[in-house]
Structure 1
Amino acid sequence: MPDKTADVVVIVPTLGERVDTLGASLASALGQDDVRVRVVVVVPESATTARVMAGDMGATVVDDPGRGLSAAVNAGLDSVEEERYYAWLNDDDFLAPGALAALRDMLDNDPDASVAFGACTYIDPEGRPIGVSRAGDVATRILGWGPDLVPQPSALHRLAHVRRAGRYDETLRYAMDLDMLLRLRRLGPFLSTKRVVSSFRWHPESLTVANRRHSLAESEMVKHRYLSRRTRRLAPLWDLPVRLATHVAARQVNRKASKVALAHATS
């Protein structure tokens, strides 16, 4: 249940266009057990239906400043009260039961850690499971040069470290979460669990799926920011293989999603 002295604030940026999945996303956050949680929905003033629904469900409603996704998340962070941890949940993703309590306990047990994250189930537009991402500690080790395998809806961030890291970069359109993770990694270790703590919806409207080429280019640029000058000169040696591997992985997920849809249609 929401609580003014919540341990965790969950920020849900939305344009208010996916009211059906938004309601389910909010319910997955507000229904978390064994943790005090406050949900902040950042939504345009014009999205009346979404604003009313979020308020009726018990969420705090914040106006979207209209400058993109990074600015929306920053607006949500500006509304933080006394919470210690923060999660970012998109309006068509879901938290698994008990997810926030499990991740909070991990951060409570390691006061130096910046982020705790778990596994993530990929689901298709109808909510059917496609596969599970369980990169674990490997995701942290390759974050600075390889693909970003830290599932955004599966991550819980220590707010004290987020404040030290600074605001989300509003010049970025795709890799703002990667940029923040790379800053947070400098402030403390990342903790991981193989437990599935969220579901990520894979569909054509997902920002980084529909625009993968631009997303990859921006991700490479962000990773280069945090490399030494000498290492940056060597980055092309691994940028192309990582890019190709990411394309292959995306195609595999798309094929699996098609198979799941076909199996459902013929069953």
Structure 2
Amino acid sequence: MRFSIITPNYNGGRFLEQTLASVTAQADVELEYIVVDGGSTDASHQIIARHASKIARTIIEKDTGPANAINKGLAAATGDVLAWLNADDIYYPGALERVRQVFEQRPDAAICFGGCPIIDAQGREIRSAITRFKELFYPISSRFTYQCINYLSQPALFFRRSAFEQAGPLRENMRAAWDYDFILRLWRSGGAAQVPGRPLAAFRWHEQSISGQHFARQFQEEYEAARADAGSLAPQTLIHYCVRWGIVGAYSLMARRRKSCA
């Protein structure tokens, strides 16, 4: 079982070294690592060069955003299992080998996911209550549940090539929720299997991240994607609508608190 991992990057040198190292250290599986850089002007190219011996392909050219960059990587990928890891997130040691084992045990699964804490710029876990809340849905994971609420963390999610071929590429006209829309489409190809135990990856939250800057737009787009997938009058759509406003309210409150403490 061959893995293809894509890292999109544009001026992400602040965290890129950690991201690349966390992927190239996954030595227990057959790995094709693809880095897609949108023409960075910071130290990214020097950082990528330091890891060149373990990167199968580097694409350096202008793109129209992260979704476009990831689509380029997915188009070039040859693996049986695909995923992307953004230039500020990390994998934990042995993550891909654990994913491989679960996919082999669950040939019916189109998607494989695991735990994914939120970390800050210094790598410290934050917002643990949000992580625990998401994990409550793992035992009842289903396409229905995912249409109601986005509880899967993209850095810790992997999918089969066959599911990707059926789902098609990421929507590049979305600003913040193209991953949620894409995962909804992946789910049409089969079930999702959880990797038990310790987390697979960590999602880094910081002020410059997409979720840090555009969370209201993100949850609006997620609602629209769920409505399109489940249907305007489906109970999942109504549940998602209510959940969306609760989450946006909580995030807005946290944003105001950060500003008041600054």
Give the drift of 1:229.
5.1
Distance 1:48 1:126 in 2: 20
1:80 and 2:81 correspond: no
CA distance in 1, matches of 2:249, 2:156: 23
Partners of 1:7 and 1:84 within 8 A in 2: yes
Q: Which amino acid aligns with 1:129?
A: E
The aligned residue for residue 265 of structure 1 is none
Identity of aligned residues (%): 26
Q: Does 1:10 align with 2:5?
A: yes
CA contact 1:45–1:63 (8 Å) conserved in 2: yes
Q: 1:21 aligns with which of 15, 35, 38?
A: 15
Higher deviation after alignment, 129-138 or 206-215: 129-138
1:139, 1:149 within 8 Å by CA — same for their partners in 2? Answer: no
Tell me the residue number matched to 2:200: 197
Count of matched residue positions in the alignment of Structure 1 and Structure 2: 250
Structure 2 residue runs without a partner (length 5+) = none
Quote the Cα distance in structure 2 between the aligned partners of 1:120 and 1:25: 15
Partner of 2:169: 167
User: Relative to 1, partners in 2 of residues 1:7 and 1:128: Cα closer, same or farther, differing over 3 Å?
Assistant: same
Root-mean-square deviation (CA), in Å? 2.7
CA-CA distance at 1:159 after TM superposition: 1.3
1:243 aligns with 2:256: no
Could you state the TM-score of these two structures normalised by the residue count of structure 1? 0.84
Structural mapping, 1:115-154, within 5 Å: 115-130=111-126, 131=128, 132-133=131-132, 134=135, 135-140=137-142, 141-146=144-149, 148-154=150-156
Q: TM-score, normalised on structure 2?
A: 0.85
Deviation digits for residues 221-244 of structure 1 (CA, Å, limit 9, x no counterpart): 111111235428x83x43442023
Point out where structure 1 has 5 or more consecutive residues left out of the alignment: 1-5, 262-267
> 58-67 or 154-163: which moved more?
58-67
Task: Summarize the Cα distance change of 1:102–1:136 in structure 2 as closer, same or farther, 3 Å threshold.
Answer: same
